[in-house]
C-alpha cells in the first residue's frame, strides 16, 4: 500500500499557522471578510496547486494499492459518480463492506450490477449495498442515521464525499431554508457525522473523512450570515462553495477536539486536488472543484465552448498552454487517493492523536499527495471555529452537548426527522 514516509506525520506536517483567540484580551473589530493579502495568498496557492499537484503526488501509484479490508464497514456519500464512485469501488474490491449512501438509488444499483459482472471470477462477490440519502433534506439525513444505528452494527469509516458546486447558478435554498452549498457541503455531513457517532464508537478505532477542497483557502464564514443573504457580501456560487468548505474544516476541527481519545474516532479533512470535471469535445475546462457531480452539466458546455472560441483568437503559445491544462488536472481516480489513504493508512489515527495532544487549532488535513498540510489561515481562527460549531449545531437541530451526550451512550433529540410524514 502506498504510504507517506514516517516523517510525513511529524510536527513539521502541521505547518506554521497560528491559532487565534487563545490568550488574547484585546477586543478586535469583527472581521467581515478576508483581507486582500489573505485573498491573494489563497488564489496564489490555488494556482500553485494546479501547476505542481501532479509533481507533488508523483510518488503515489494509481490506482492506490490497498490492503485487504475484509473487516471494514464504510459508508460513502455521493458514490455514484466522480471521486465517490472510485472510492466505493476500490474499497469494495479490497474486501470492505461498502454502503453507498446516495440520492439516486437506481443508478447505484446499476453500478453495483456492472461492478459485480466485471469482478466475476476474481474473488468473492463485492459486499456492497445501497441506502437512500438526500443531503438537501435534513429529515433524510436523520432517517438514514436512525436506520443505520438501528442495526447496532459497527461502522469503521464514514466518508463525507458528496457535495455541489453550482457554477454560475443563482442562489438557491433547500426546503430546510439553507443555502444549498452550505447545506450539502457542510450542514448535512455535519449532522450525519454526529448522529452516526454511536455506530462509529462501536466500530472504533474508526474515522470520519471529509472530502474537502483547496477552494476553502479563499473562503470566509460569517456565522451571522451563513446563508449569505444580509447583503454584506454579494452572493456568487464561488462564495457559496468556498464558504461551505471552510465551514466544514472549522466544524471538523472542533469535533476533533470534542471527541475524547477513548472514543477512538479520528476526524480528517482531505483535499483531492484539482480534479477534471465534465468536458466537451473542444478540450474541456477544468475547475478547482472536486469532481463531476459538483459542476452543473448544463453550465459547463457553455463555458467550455466560450473559452474554446476565445482561445482560437489568442497567440499560438497561449493556445498551446491552454491545451496543456488537462495534463495538470487529476482524474477522478487520482483524486480519490487522499480519501482512500485517510481511510486506511495506520498512521492517520496516531497523527490525529498527536494534534489533539498538542492542542493544535485545526484537525488533520491531508493534501492530494497524501501528506499532512496546513489548511488556510482563516481555518486556524479558533474563535470563529467555535462560533461555526455552535451555529451549525443550532442550524441542524442538535443541542450544544450532543457529542458529549452521544459519547456517554445517551440519546439526543434532533428537531429534524422525528415528525416526518
The position carrying cell 447583503 is 231
Nine cell digits for residue 94: 479490497
Return the axis-axis angle of helices 237-258 and 382-395, rounded to nearest 10°. 100
Per the annotation, the verdict on 416 as an active-site residue is: no
DSSP string, 75-141: EEES-SSHHHHHHHHHHHHTT-EEEEEES-HHHHHHHHHHHHHHHTTSSSPP-EEEEE--TT-HHHH
DSSP letter assigned to residue 379: G
- Contact predicate 181/196, CB 8 Å: no
Phi, psi angles (nearest 5°) of residue 143: -60, -45
Cβ within 8 Å of residue 369, ≥6 positions away: 53, 56, 57, 59, 60, 338
Report which secondary-structure segment, H or E, holds 309.
helix 300-311
Cis bond before residue 276 (omega within 30° of 0): no
* Catalytically annotated residue among 178, 241, 351, 416: 241
Catalytic residues: 241
Amino acid at each position: 500500500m502506498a504510504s507517506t514516509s514516517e516523517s510525513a506525520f511529524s510536527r513539521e506536517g502541521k505547518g506554521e499557522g497560528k491559532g487565534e483567540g487563545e490568550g488574547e484580551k484585546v477586543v478586535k473589530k469583527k472581521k467581515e471578510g478576508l483581507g486582500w493579502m489573505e485573498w491573494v495568498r489563497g488564489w496564489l496557492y490555488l494556482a500553485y496547486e494546479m501547476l505542481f499537484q501532479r509533481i507533488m503526488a508523483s510518488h503515489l501509484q494509481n490506482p492506490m494499492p490497498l490492503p485487504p479490508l475484509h473487516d471494514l464497514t464504510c459508508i460513502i456519500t455521493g458514490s455514484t459518480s466522480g471521486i465517490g464512485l472510485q472510492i466505493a469501488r476500490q474499497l469494495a474490491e479490497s474486501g470492505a463492506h461498502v454502503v453507498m449512501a446516495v440520492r439516486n438509488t437506481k443508478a447505484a444499483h446499476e453500478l453495483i450490477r456492472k461492478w459485480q459482472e466485471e469482478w466475476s471470477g476474481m474473488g468473492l462477490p463485492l459486499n456492497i449495498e445501497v441506502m437512500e440519502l438526500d443531503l438537501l433534506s435534513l429529515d433524510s439525513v436523520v432517517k438514514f442515521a436512525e436506520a443505520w444505528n438501528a442495526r447496532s452494527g459497527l461502522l469503521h469509516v464514514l466518508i463525507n464525499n458528496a457535495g455541489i458546486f453550482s457554477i454560475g447558478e443563482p442562489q438557491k435554498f433547500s426546503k430546510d431554508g439553507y443555502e444549498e452549498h452550505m447545506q450539502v457541503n457542510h450542514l448535512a455531513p455535519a449532522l450525519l457525522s454526529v448522529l452516526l457517532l454511536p455506530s462509529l464508537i462501536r466500530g472504533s478505532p474508526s474515522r470520519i473523512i471529509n472530502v474537502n477542497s483547496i477552494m476553502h483557502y479563499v473562503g470566509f464564514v460569517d456565522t451571522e450570515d451563513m446563508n449569505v443573504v444580509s447583503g454584506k457580501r454579494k452572493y456568487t456560487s464561488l462564495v457559496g462553495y468556498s464558504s461551505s468548505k471552510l465551514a466544514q474544516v472549522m466544524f471538523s476541527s472542533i469535533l476533533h477536539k470534542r471527541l475524547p481519545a477513548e472514543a477512538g474516532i479520528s476526524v480528517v479533512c482531505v483535499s483531492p486536488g484539482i480534479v477534471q470535471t465534465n468536458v466537451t469535445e473542444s478540450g474541456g475546462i477544468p475547475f478547482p472543484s472536486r469532481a463531476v457531480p459538483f459542476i452543473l452539466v448544463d453550465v459547463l458546455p457553455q463555458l467550455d465552448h466560450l473559452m474554446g472560441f476565445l482561445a482560437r483568437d489568442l497567440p499560438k503559445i497561449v493556445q498551446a498552454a491552454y491545451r496543456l491544462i488537462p495534463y495538470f488536472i487529476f482524474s477522478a481516480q487520482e483524486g480519490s487517493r487522499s480519501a482512500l489513504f485517510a481511510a486506511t493508512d495506520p498512521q492517520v489515527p496516531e497523527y490525529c492523536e498527536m494534534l489533539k495532544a498538542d492542542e493544535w487549532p485545526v484537525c488533520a488535513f491531508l493534501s492530494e499527495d497524501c501528506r499532512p498540510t496546513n489548511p488556510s489561515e482563516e481555518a486556524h481562527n479558533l474563535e470563529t471555529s467555535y462560533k461555526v460549531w455552535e451555529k451549525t449545531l443550532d442550524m441542524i437541530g442538535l443541542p450544544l452537548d450532543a457529542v458529549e451526550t452521544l459519547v456517554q451512550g445517551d440519546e439526543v433529540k434532533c428537531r429534524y426527522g422525528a415528525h416526518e410524514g
